[in-house]
Amino acid sequence: MARKKIALIGGGQIGGVLTQLIAMKQLGDVVLYDIVEDLPQGKGLDIAEASRVDLFDVHVKGTNDYKDIEGADIVIITAGLPRKPGMSRDDLLVTNAKIMHLVAENVKKYAPNSIVIVISNPLDAMVTLCQKITGFPTHKVIGQAGILDSSRFATFIAWELGVSVKDVNALVLGGHGDTMVPLIRYANVNGIPVMELLERKYKDKAKAKEVMDAMVNRTKMAGGEVVKLLKTGSAFYSPASSAIAMAEAILFDEKRVLPTCAYLNGEFGINGYYVGVPAVLGEGGAEKIIELTLNEEEKALLDNSVKAVKELVVDMERLGL
């Protein structure tokens, strides 16, 4: 059986980590594309030269020629600028939309049968644009955000409760911005509601709520927290790991239920927009959206987040992007 081909568009911080993870997990041959001359070739060479040590024999090729992505099974897009301190993801809209136009045209031309995972920000708008330009079926163009946001939420819960993060299940819905919706009611430790454990720990409902609210807020601002510390860019290890989880689910037809920026056709009462929701990921891409019951408060928070996504998409259209 031929090895799968994975094309990475953008050979910056996330692109580099993606390449290394794909190689070490032997998911397939990698083509790393970047517009900057020699950069992807340098990273590709560096990672390939670790193959004897890490014992992988997939091929890694850096390139400045889109032709090399021909026939890719999966394309992961990170091309675009990252945030600098003080910037919101939305501040990247104009610059990254222009870059997405170039990228998506070439993905359409050279990898017409691929499944595309977008990471570039502002995420929900960039996935929308990528699907529009490629014209690919909506379930084959998806975005990575929710796995990372949910993993951040789970990490904070595990630290707070002093339990293994492996046993924490946490889900974040909505757009990949400050309005995202970490779902408190559904957060659990191997089935035990996190709120119950917090109330047991603090023996005080109000205090437990205060601690949970702080974790929710930290989750919403978690990307900015990293940007502030790094100063020169945004998070790259965790976004790369999150996109790899999606790629693995697709490559191995795992049917994993993962928070995904997916196109909604009436699910959650949302029609015609890309928003973060749980989706079944398999060989067809986002094969199915999993709906869940939201109470009034959760629904209002999700509506507010969807409103922010819509505003960004409208802005993009108004600016002719």
Enumerate binding residues for ligand APR (CB under 6 A): 9-15, 34-36, 78-83, 92, 96, 99, 102-103, 119-121, 233-234, 236, 239
Least gap, CB of 150 to ligand APR (angstroms):
16
- Nearer to ligand APR (CB atom), residue 36 or residue 290: 36
The one-letter amino acid at 26: Q
Residues identified as active-site: 176
The string of DSSP letters for 53-116 reads: HHT----EEEES-GGGGTT-SEEEE--SPPP-TT--GGGGHHHHHHHHHHHHHHHHHH-TT-EE
**Angstrom distance (rounded) from CA 81 to CA 151:** 23
**Angstrom distance (rounded) from CA 301 to CA 117:** 26
Least gap, CB of 99 to ligand APR (angstroms):
4
Closest CA to 246 of 103, 87, 120, 75: 75
Least gap, CB of 198 to ligand APR (angstroms):
31
Closest residue to ligand APR using C-beta atoms = 12
- Nearer to ligand APR (CB atom), residue 13 or residue 305: 13
- Nearer to ligand APR (CB atom), residue 238 or residue 305: 238
Instruction: Establish how many alpha carbons lie within 13 A of residue 202's alpha carbon, considering only the half-sphere containing its beta carbon.
Output: 16
Least gap, CB of 33 to ligand APR (angstroms):
6
- Nearer to ligand APR (CB atom), residue 82 or residue 294: 82
- Nearer to ligand APR (CB atom), residue 9 or residue 212: 9
Closest CA to 156 of 189, 119, 124: 189
**Angstrom distance (rounded) from CA 229 to CA 261:** 27
**Angstrom distance (rounded) from CA 275 to CA 127:** 10
Query: Is the peptide bond preceding residue 122 cis, with omega within 30 degrees of 0?
Result: yes
- Nearer to ligand APR (CB atom), residue 96 or residue 150: 96
Least gap, CB of 206 to ligand APR (angstroms):
36
**Angstrom distance (rounded) from CA 8 to CA 78:** 7
Least gap, CB of 226 to ligand APR (angstroms):
10
Give the SS3 label for residue 254: coil
